[in-house]
Structure formats: structure tokens, C-alpha cells
A and B are shown apart, each in its own frame.
Chain A
Amino acid sequence: EIVLTQSPGTLSLSPGERATLSCKARQSVSSSYLAWYQQKPGQAPRLLIYDTSSRATGIPDRFSGSGSGTDFTLTISRLEPEDFAVYYCQQYDNSPWTFGQGTKVEIK
């Protein structure tokens, strides 16, 4: 199975700052089949990005995804108060579909 490693584990930033989250795959995600989710406490995950860089319905354009092969990035251009949450990447190129362990974005 494809192991995904996210870094950093925790990102401490202030509102208005830029957040850069990394997701590295142990083997190539060849079809760019990588997604990003946001999860807040007590809530189900919410899809942000699919196919590496396509924003899901209703997702603001401050969220963007990029990357290829084994290295992927989620960027939040200017953090809003509602963006402080845990973020997960997921690959769906090779079954079983797998998730990274998550990056927590917390208020500094």
C-alpha cells in the first residue's frame, strides 16, 4: 500500500499568514489521484481538493493544491479563523486508498 507522510505534525500560525502543508508518498501517485480534507473537532472530514489541484464545490480560492509523483502540497494563502483544523491527504491511485496521519493547523 502507498504510505503517505504529512509534515509538519503541527503548524502554529496567525490569522492572515500563509500555510504550507506537505504530503509525501513512499511511491509515486502516478495519476495525480491525491485529495486533501479538512476536519474540525466533532465533525466529519470535508473535501477541499481532489486530483491534486481541483477545488471541491464551494471551497474558497485561498485553498490550492499542487504537486506530482511523490510530493504534494496544500497551500492556504491567508488563514481565516475558520481554517484552524486538522488536514489530511489521501491517495486514490492504488488500492487500498490511504490517508496521511494529518497536520494540525493551530492558532499561534
Chain B
Amino acid sequence: QVQLVQSGAEVKKPGSSVRVSCKASADTFNNYPISWVRQAPGQGLEWMGGIIPMFGTTNYVQKFQGRVTITADKSTNTVYMDLTSLRSDDTAVYYCARDGSLTESFFDYWGQGTLVTVSS
């Protein structure tokens, strides 16, 4: 059974950092890339980047370069997304999602989402 279970909601101050976790089932962690997609309130979907957990290979959207880091912990089958220098427009629901394969980045399974609120 494919599972992606995310950490809970966060409230952060502007300028601070947030870490969101995504615990994957073993088969997913070992065989598929995992991406992060965010959705601001009332807005559409935005891909931020992804990782191939077994290799640690990452790919980021240029817009987030320098602010986002995606890592994977093989001992717990968990992928992390760290976002630094938070601004109010980073307020969004953050989803982890499984890529369809190593070569096809549609997203066939999604975590439940983590709301990150950035407010002073």
C-alpha cells in the first residue's frame, strides 16, 4: 500500500525556517522520486522540486534555489523539505507526492498536505 504521511501544521514568523516531513512506504522510498508541490490559499499548484531518495539526487525550481533543500533519511524512509527566509507569500499547503517513475514526473500518490502559515 502506497503511503505518504506528512507532518502537522506549522506557524512561523517571517524570516524563519520550516521543515516539513513526508514518511513514505518502503517501496515508494526505494523506487520512486518524491516531489514537493505547494498551493497558496485559493491558488493553483506549484512544483518546488524533488529527490530520488535512494540516490539523494535533487532537482529544484530555480525560483526556490537557495531557499529550499530536500533531503531523504534512508533509516526512516522519510523525505524532508526545508524552506528558509520565510515570507508571507510562502503561506501555503505543502504536499509531497510520488513521481510516476524515474523518467515520468506526473504525481500518482499524494500526502495529505501540511499547512504552513507565515505571520508576524
| Chains A and B belong together in one complex | yes
The reply to whether the CB of A99 lies closer than 8 angstroms to some CB of chain B is: yes
From A10-18, A21-29, A69-77, A87-95, the one touching the partner chain is A87-95
CB pair A98 B47 closer than 8 Å: yes
How many residues on the B side are at the interface (Cβ–Cβ under 8 A)? Answer: 22
**How many angstroms between the C-alpha atoms of A33 and B100 in the bound complex?**
11
The reply to whether the CB of A83 lies closer than 8 angstroms to some CB of chain B is: no
The reply to whether the CB of B62 lies closer than 8 angstroms to some CB of chain A is: yes
CB distance from B106 to the nearest CB of A (A): 4
CB distance from B81 to the nearest CB of A (A): 15
- 1/0 contact string of B95-116 vs chain A (CB within 8 Å): 1010010001111111111000
CB pair A96 B110 closer than 8 Å: no
CB pair B106 A92 closer than 8 Å: yes
Instruction: How many A-B residue pairs have C-beta atoms within 8 angstroms? Tell me.
Output: 54
- 1/0 contact string of B2-20 vs chain A (CB within 8 Å): 0000000000000000000
Interface residues on A, range: 20 to 34
Residues of A within 8 A of B45 (CB): 37, 45, 88, 90, 99
CB distance from B74 to the nearest CB of A (A): 25
Residues of A within 8 A of B37 (CB): 45
Which residues of B21-73 are within 8 A (CB) of A? 35, 37, 44-47, 59, 61-62
CB pair B95 A44 closer than 8 Å: yes
**How many angstroms between the C-alpha atoms of A28 and B108 in the bound complex?**
23
CB pair A50 B104 closer than 8 Å: yes
The reply to whether the CB of A101 lies closer than 8 angstroms to some CB of chain B is: yes
**How many angstroms between the C-alpha atoms of A100 and B113 in the bound complex?**
20
- Which B positions have Cβ atoms within 8 angstroms of A? 35, 37, 44-47, 59, 61-62, 95, 97, 100, 104-113
